[in-house]
Amino acid sequence: MGRRKETTHAPLRSLTAEQAEELFSKVDNSGHSNAKRAESQRKRRKESGHGVEVDPLSTDDPSGSNVGTTISRAGVAIVAIVIVIISLTQMLSGRALSENTVNLSSNVSVRTVAAALSDGVEWGNGFTQFPAEFTVKEADQNTGRIEVSVVDITSPNALGCFSNAQIQATALSVSSLMNPHIDTVIYHVNVHRDQDGNIQHQSLFGFLRPTGDLTPFMTFIWTKNTTNDGQVRFNCTITGVDDDLQKTLRQQILSQKPVVEDEEIEVETNARVGKRRL
C-alpha cells in the first residue's frame, strides 16, 4: 500500500499593530481595501445596472425598502388613535351620564326615584350604582318619605353586603334629604340564603343567579330634622342586625385583619409615652 502523502501548512502569522493600521488605512467606507479597484467595480456595476452599493455600518435596508419603518409608524398611529377614541368615549359617556342623572334634591316622585335606582346617583367623584332588582314602595314629597327595597345578589358574604348597602343607602338618602320636602328615607336590603342560612350570590359572570329563599338582611333609616337654632341634623339608624349577624360581621372583619393582642398595644403605647417624655 502506498504511503499517504502528508501535507504541511505554513503557520499563520498575526498582523502587527503597524501592519493592521496600514491595512485599515486603505479601507474605504464600503469596506474595500483597494480604493481604486473598488471605484472601478462600482462604476462598472452602475453602468451595467446591476448590484447595490452597501454600507456595512448602515442600518438601512440594502434593497431600499422602507416596509419596516412604515409598519412601525402605522403601529404607533393605531395605538395613538385607539387611546384617543377610548378617552373621548369615557369623557362623552361620563358627560351623558351626568346630564341624564336624576336630581332628587329638586324633584322626588316614584318615577324619579326609580330612575335614580336604575341609572345611579352622583356621589363623591363618581356615580353610585344600585342592585338591578329594586322596588319603590313610596316616594312622595307631600308625606316627605321615600321607601325602597333592593335585592343584593352580587355581594359574596355578609360583610360585603353590609359595606355595599351602606354606601348605596347613604348616596340615595343624602341626595334625597337635600330636597326640602323630604325628611325620611328608608332603604331595605334583602338577600338570598341557602338551606344553611348562607348568603347566595350570582356566579358565572351573572348567568347563574341565586335561587335560595329571599330574606331581609338589614334596613337603613335616614332622617332629617331642624333644631330650634336652625341647624339641620342627619341621623342614620340601622335595624335588622341581630346577635348572629353581628357575630358573623365581626368574624369576617377579624379574618381580614390580624388580631393585635392587648399586651402589644399596651407595650407600644408605653413606648410612645416614654419617647414623648424624653
Amino acid at position 36, single letter: K
Per-residue model confidence (pLDDT) at position 4: 58
Q: Report the candidate in 98, 89, 246, 100 with the shortest Cα–Cα distance to residue 159.
A: 246
117 Cβ contact list (under 8 Å, min separation 6): 130, 134, 136, 148, 150, 172
Amino acid at position 78, single letter: I
CA 248/CA 33 separation, integer angstroms: 87
CA 185/CA 145 separation, integer angstroms: 6
Cell numbers describing residue 65: 425598502
Per-residue model confidence (pLDDT) at position 148: 96
CA 127/CA 122 separation, integer angstroms: 4
CB 130 within 8 Å of CB 114? no
CA 63 to chain centre: 46
Please list the alpha-helical segments (H only) found in 49-66.
Answer: none
Per-residue model confidence (pLDDT) at position 273: 45
Mean pLDDT, consecutive 10-residue segments, the chain of 278 residues? 56 71 62 63 65 58 64 86 83 61 86 91 82 94 95 92 94 93 96 88 79 91 90 93 89 72 50 48
Per-residue model confidence (pLDDT) at position 237: 95
* Strands annotated E in 115-266: 121-123, 126-128, 133-140, 145-151, 184-193, 199-200, 213-226, 232-239
H or E element, residue 271: helix 262-277
CB 225 within 8 Å of CB 183? yes
Per-residue model confidence (pLDDT) at position 143: 93
Which pairs with CB-CB distance under 8 Å and at least 24 residues apart come from 126-131? 127/97, 127/101, 128/167, 128/168, 128/171, 128/172, 129/168, 130/168, 130/172, 131/168
Per-residue model confidence (pLDDT) at position 220: 97
Does the model's pTM come out above 0.75?
Answer: no
Torsion angles phi and psi, residue 7, rounded to 5: -105, 145
Per-residue model confidence (pLDDT) at position 242: 87
What is the DSSP code (8-state) at residue 11?
P
DSSP 23-40: HHHT--TTS-S-HHHHHH
What is the DSSP code (8-state) at residue 155?
-
